[in-house]
Each structure stands twice: as structure tokens, then as C-alpha cells.
Structure 1
Amino acid sequence: MPDSLRITAAETDPQLLTLPWSTPLEAWPASAIVKLPKGISRHIVRFSEMSGRVIAVKETTDAMAQREYEMLGALAKLDVPCVKRVAVVAGRTAQDGTPLRAALVTAHLSFSMPYRALFTHALRPETATRLVDALALLLVRLHNVGFYWGDVSLSNTLFRRDAGSFAAYLVDAETGELHEGGLSEGQRDHDLDLARTNIAGELLDLAAHGRVEGVDPVAVADGIVAAYRSLWGALHDEQTFSSREAWRITERVRLLNDLGFDIDEMSIETEGGGSRVSIQPKVVDAGHHARRLIRLTGLDVEENQARRLLNDLDEFRLHTGRSEDEEELAAHEWLTQAFEPVVRAIPYELRAKLEPAEVYHEVLEHRWFLQEQRDASVPLAEVLSSYMGNVLRHRRDEATIMGPLTETITAPLPQSPEVDWRDLV
């Protein structure tokens, strides 16, 4: 280990010192590299293992590494979806004394992939649209906290599956700026224009290599503008109505809740002697459904997954006769009688395919498909067997599992009415 290393770390991990920092990143030995799909980057990036988890290492200048490290920390405090910072390693020198570039170390986001890894052969139109919608939501969330990205693209984003959609996470923050007073319309428009231009270029590149199927790159790129403006307007536009229509305040709150946002502060003003009322959300926070689910069950999942699981929980509550006042009790019963038995039934060797919440969502979808196909109820045990054999087993692993596989642990398929509550209906 070189004596001159200067390490700034968010957490203490002695194994950080064991990586080959005296070797240029492009020359790291295969023994120090974990092969994972990665996006396009202007920097050299390698994945490695540290204490049983995967990290991403990027070479850059000392100043840029430190700046991005601090920016990722600030974004994490603002609860923005982004990769987790680990360390900055500066003062690197080669064995012959040649100075080496600094390295920014971040934690690999489990079950996430760059956009190019989200399709096997060709990118379909619906997949491209879902990716762009996820990026539009991420951009709104970033702008909402006063973050100007400056390099918006699919390549600078990681995607996780989210109940049939995608959740987007910021990866590269080196060009970003945080503005406490919020962003001007010009700054937001510039980010949006960058997003449109970069997405069109990325999709045109895929088209040139025959990797898109019936996709109009320009039309898909234009879609981020429409999606962004629609969502931004729903969050921030002022609304005026008659004082006799005060129910519109509740309607606005419900609309934002449906979009996955909570209102922490709202401006309400009366006009014309109280005959007109104007409302405008002032402080909004994303993650409405995720917060409700974690409060009721302790499950920390993506927003659309939370929405899907909450719908199933509400259905469970109705069919078990629990009142709205017994929501927390119903949530505990749902967790132990519905969610956990399904997750435990997945064999160990298949658990790296998808996150538990995404597996549960897909099991529900598979059950609906089988029942539509047969026009009859299908027991959960049969649904699970069909799903694992015909769907899950053929998926590629989307998590990163380090170390050798242990013996397979397979829980018995839940078959009793006590576990399979839907068979009671």
C-alpha cells in the first residue's frame, strides 16, 4: 500500500486499503474486478469487491472527486435517489513514483442496471418510454430540491425495476450544482434541453447498431419534455376556484398523493372578498406510498412497488374483515400471511433474479394472467410453481451476490387457507 494515500471516507472499512491503488484503474488485475454491465462514461470505471459488497471506482481529478463526493452526500441528505458515496482516494502513485489520478468510490446499487443492460436484443418502444418517464420523475425531484444536473442522460442514470415501471437513480453528479434558493426557469429548461438532446443521441446510437425495435428516438426524447412539464405543473401550478368549491383543495392533495408526493406546505389565499380561493403547493416530498408502507410494515421499497403492495394490503384488509381503524393489525397479518410466505417460497438460487417486492408484484400479475386464461381461481401454490418455472427461472440475475453459493434453501410452498388468504374469497 502506498504511503502517500489520502482517504476521505463516509464509513470506516479497512478493506478499502487492500485494493491495488498503486495501479492505474485501466490496468487493475482481473482478481480485483467484478464484471458488471456499466453505462457509457467519460472516465475509466471499474467494479470491485469490498467486504462482501460491490463498489464502483472512477478515476478523475482530486478536485472533481472531492466535489462529487460532497455533492452525493448532500443529495443523500435531501433523500434524492442517487448512488451512495463511499470514499475519495487521492495521493495515489504508481510503483515507479508516477502520480495517478484520484478515485471516487461509490456503492453499487443492488438490482440496478444501466439502460443498455435492460434489454437483451432490441429496445422496445414501451421500454424506452418507461425509461424516459422514470428519468423525467428523477429530474423533477432533483429540480424540486434545487439541484441543477448539467449532464442529464440515460447513461448517467441507473434503473431499478418498480412494479412494471422503472425507478431512476442519479449516478454522475460531477457537473451538478445545488442552489438553496431553487432553480430558475432557465436553469430547469437548460437541463431539460440537455436531457432531450442526450436521450435522442443515445437512442440514435442504439438504432445505428440495430438495437432498437420500432422506436422513434426523437419522439421518445421529446417525451421527457412532456412528462416533465406535466409533473412539474401538477406539483407547482397555482389553482384558483370559487370559494364554494373548497373540496378542490382535497382533490389537489389526492392528485399529488396519487402521483407519489406529499404536501408539507400549501399557500392558500382568498380573493375578491373571499369569493375566490387560490392554492399553490409550496413544499412537496416524493415517496408518499413508500413512506406509508414502511410505516405499516417496515418494508423499504420503490414507490410503484409500494403502491402495488398497499393495494394488495387494502384488499387483504377488506377480505379479512378488518376495519380502517385496524390498518396496522391488518398490515402485520398481511406481512406474515401473504408477503413473507411468497418470498420464502423462492428457492435460494433464484433470489438474485429480482427484489422481493418485485417478485411479489410479478406473482400477483402471474396469478391474474393464469386466472384470466382459465377463467377460474388458481391456488397460490400452483401460481408460485408456474411463476418460478416459467418466468423467474429464465430471468437473468439482477442483484450482485458475492462469494460461493451456499446450499439451496427452499421453503415449502404455502398451500393452507391460513397462508393463501385469496383462496378464501
Structure 2
Amino acid sequence: MALQISATNPEHPVLLLELPWHLPLEEWPEEYLVPLPRGISRHVVRYARAGDEVIAVKELAERPALREYELLRDLDRLGIPAVDPLAVVTGRADAEDGPLESVLVTRHLGGSMPYRSMFETTMRPATMHRLMDALAVLLVRLHLAGFAWGDCSLSNTLFRRDAGAYAAYLVDAETGDLHAQLSSGQRDYDLDLARVNISGELLDLEASGALHPSVDPIEFGMEICARYGRLWEELTRTSVYPAGKYHYIERRIRRLNDLGFDVAEMQIEHAPNGDTVTFVPKVVDAGHHQRQLLRLTGLDTEENQARRLLNDLESWMATQDDYAPGDPLGARPEVLAHRWVRDVFRPTVRAVPLQMRGSMDPAEIYHELLEHRWYLSERAQHDIGLDTAVQDYITNILPQARETLQPSPSAD
């Protein structure tokens, strides 16, 4: 059987041909390899260089290699944090024409570390909590996408620093399975495996003296279950709020943001006892806010400003009669966003006198007004409306801010 390279990019087969596929992976010469830390794996794994890219090469049988390759491609299309599949190499043979195992080729995740490398120096418990948080977030995202991992563990995960916290990436999808939706039993099975695997991995570290003495491996294994449960509840429950209680929705959005998630859909429904708001949170890719706001509105802002404005835009769109997600007869989001800029954003910003704005740009002014409305609504226990918030902000907040910024009189 001739050597075959199935790749996602037509350029990759040419680059990969330069590697010594006629040798077992364990025997590859150092000149092809990149000395990066590797985690524990049931298969032989090596890092190598292909052109300008660093790749991970895993040796395994042909059928599981092809299956994992397709699963990783599915996860990539779903926007799930996982290693990037590049190719599968089959039909390998040695110099005597003896068969060699196939290999799966993935792109090395820059800046990532396997968990054992992170424990080369004793890790503080606070840092370990952040690792558990990152792994729980990954597992929730996989389950929301319908992916049953089948072997969630620290060993099958790569961790990368993300703005002071950690982001977790799936690195081994060999035991996974993709469904339209997971049952509670499938999720519980994955979660129980994670608990057992993580406790076992930490017990192994404890035995080698690499675990902080205050860390209980069993308790840390249980922690991912608790963290997962809080995330899953916040992301999947559908809440119904009475009309006029929109600050409750804002509270829910803030909780989701604090957990690292965002809002993708809200719906207004009419009920016999008055209008209600059904709030359905969904997962969206992190770091998308600036691009999305610019695409929808033409407003070019900082990331946190964009997140705040998008939340307000989504809430406002849900109140519009022609807002019907998924309905081809409903107004497109771009049309509604343009209307929001024209009828809400610009008039609100213009209500703040130019001489009182100081160095604040329009997006920052609007952000400040939304924050003030949230504070006043929480205090009043009902939504006070944007117009009232603007007037109170102009009367009570801006004058104090200007006084604070005034230079102190010099002493004679």
C-alpha cells in the first residue's frame, strides 16, 4: 500500500513529505524533532517541524487515526477549544516494506503545557483551582455541543495562560463521540470519569512529591463536578421574568460574563399575565465582541466596551416587534443594529453635553450610562429606563467626576 497523506490544507502534504515516515516514530532522528514537553499518552507522540510549523505526530492504528481526525475537524467547525487537525498519514512502511502504524498530525498549540510539566515546581492550590475551572469550562462546552469525551482527564488536556487565568484545550478525541444532544446519563458518565481520572492523576503526583501538601487529590477531583454543575445550570436553565424587571436579565448576563460566557439569544413572549422575557444563554467564542460590534454597527470600540454594548443591543432587539430569530420574514440583525445606533445609541450619547464629556469617547459614555442605569435599577428594584439614568448621571455623577479631575489649588 502506498503512502497516503490526507490533509485539511493542500500545502501540508508537500511539507509533510519531508519527514521520515519510513521510520517508527520512536526512531525519528533528533534533526526532525522539536524538544517540547510531552504529556503521558497511551501512544507514541513526538513534536516535529514541518516547514515553519511545529506539529504533534501521534502513532496509532489507521481506523482510530481517521476517526479522531474527523472528530477534531468537527470540533473545529463547532468552535470548541481543541488541537487543530492537519493530516492523517496512512500506508506507512519501513525499509523492508514492513507495515508501520498510521499517524495523526495536529498543529502544536503555541504557549500550551501538559499538566505534568506545570507541576515540575510545586503548584500553589490557587493555581490548581484555576486549572480545574478551565477544565470544567471545556467539558461544559463539549457537552453543549453534543460531544461525549469518554476520557476527560488532565493528561488529555493542554493548558494555556489566558489573561491571568487558564484556558483548557482538548488534545485527545480518540474515545469521543459526537451526538445531536447528550443525555443526562452520558454527561454524568463523562463527569464521573473526569472525577476518577483527575483524582488518580493527582494521587500519582502526590506519590512523586510534586503536589502541594495542602492539596487533597480526592477533593480536587470532586471540585470539577461542583464547578461543572454551576456552569451547566447557568448556561442551560431558561428563566422567565415579568415585564418591567429587565434589570434581572442584566444580572443574569453579568453572571454569565463572570463565568466566561456570553449571550446569543433572548425572546419576548406574551402571556396572559403580561409580557415575559424568556432568556436563553448560549456559548459564543471568546474575544469576538469587537469584531461583531464593528460588523453590526460600524462602532469600533475596546473589547469590554463592545461586550457591554452588544449585551444592550441584544436586549433592545428582543423588544422589537420585527425581531424573530430564525424567521426569514423577521428583520436581519444588521438592520436592527443600525436602528439601535440611530434611535438609541446616538440620541443617548448626544444627551450628555459636550462640555461635560471630558476625554470620554461615545462608546465609553454609553458604557458608563448603562452601568449607572444598572446601579439605579438594582437600588429601585425595577428598571428605571435609560432616559432617567441619563438625567441622573448628568446631574449627580458627571459634576463629581469633573471635580475629582480638577487640579488641587497649590499652597502659597
Q: Give TM-score, length-normalised by structure 2.
A: 0.69
Aligned AA for 1:222? Answer: M
Aligned to 1:261: 261
Q: Give the Cα separation in 2 of the matches to 1:260 and 1:121.
A: 28
Aligned to 2:170: 170
Q: Give the Cα separation in 2 of the matches to 1:204 and 1:275.
A: 56
Could you report, residue by residue, the CA deviation over 1:286-333 in whole angstroms, capped at 9, with x for unpaired residues?
335x112455899xxxxxxx669999xxxxxx9971323479xxxxxx
- Does 1:4 pair with 2:2? yes
Q: Give the Cα separation in 1 of the matches to 2:233 and 2:115.
A: 27
Q: Give the Cα separation in 2 of the matches to 1:6 and 1:222.
A: 45
Could you report, residue by residue, the CA deviation over 1:235-263 in whole angstroms, capped at 9, with x for unpaired residues?
11133444453432333233323433233
Aligned AA for 1:63? Answer: R
Q: Give the Cα separation in 2 of the matches to 1:229 and 1:326.
A: 35
Q: Give the Cα separation in 1 of the matches to 2:194 and 2:306.
A: 32
Aligned AA for 1:9? Answer: A
The CA deviation at 1:215 is 1.1
- Does 1:30 pair with 2:30? yes
Could you report, residue by residue, the CA deviation over 1:216-240 in whole angstroms, capped at 9, with x for unpaired residues?
1111111101111101111111334
Q: Give the Cα separation in 1 of the matches to 2:160 and 2:357.
A: 32
1:246-285, aligned counterparts within 5 Å?
A: 246-266=246-266, 269=269, 273-274=272-273, 277=276, 279-281=278-280, 284-285=282-283
- Larger Rg computed on CA atoms: 2
The CA deviation at 1:275 is 5.4
- Does 1:191 pair with 2:157? no
Aligned residues: 311
Aligned AA for 1:279? Answer: T
Q: Give the Cα separation in 1 of the matches to 2:6 and 2:142.
A: 25
1:129-278, aligned counterparts within 5 Å?
A: 129-180=129-180, 182-213=181-212, 214-266=214-266, 269=269, 273-274=272-273, 277=276
The CA deviation at 1:276 is 8.2
Contact 2:34 2:49 in 1 (8 A): yes
Q: Percent identity?
A: 48
Contact 2:249 2:279 in 1 (8 A): no
Contact 1:81 1:169 in 2 (8 A): yes
- Does 1:323 pair with 2:371? no
| RMSD of Structure 2 on Structure 1 (CA) | 3.0
Gaps of 5+ in 2: 296-302, 309-355, 366-406, 408-412
Contact 1:7 1:90 in 2 (8 A): yes
Q: Give the Cα separation in 2 of the matches to 1:319 and 1:4.
A: 71
Structure with greater contact order relative to length (CA < 8 Å, sep ≥ 6): 1
In structure 2, the residue corresponding to 1:55 is in which secondary structure? Answer: strand
In structure 1, the residue corresponding to 2:136 is in which secondary structure? Answer: helix
Contact 2:243 2:274 in 1 (8 A): yes
Contact 1:240 1:276 in 2 (8 A): no
In structure 1, the residue corresponding to 2:23 is in which secondary structure? Answer: coil
In structure 2, the residue corresponding to 1:57 is in which secondary structure? Answer: strand
Contact 1:243 1:274 in 2 (8 A): no
Q: Give the Cα separation in 1 of the matches to 2:63 and 2:5.
A: 13
- Does 1:95 pair with 2:99? no
> Taking structure 1 as reference, are residues 263 and 326 closer, same or farther at Cα in structure 2, changes over 3 Å only?
closer
The CA deviation at 1:20 is 0.7
> Taking structure 1 as reference, are residues 265 and 297 closer, same or farther at Cα in structure 2, changes over 3 Å only?
closer
The CA deviation at 1:60 is 0.7
The CA deviation at 1:279 is 2.8
Aligned AA for 1:105? Answer: V
Contact 1:157 1:168 in 2 (8 A): yes
Could you report, residue by residue, the CA deviation over 1:102-140 in whole angstroms, capped at 9, with x for unpaired residues?
000001010111111124321221121111110000111
> Taking structure 1 as reference, are residues 27 and 319 closer, same or farther at Cα in structure 2, changes over 3 Å only?
farther
Q: Give the Cα separation in 2 of the matches to 1:218 and 1:198.
A: 10
Aligned to 2:56: 56
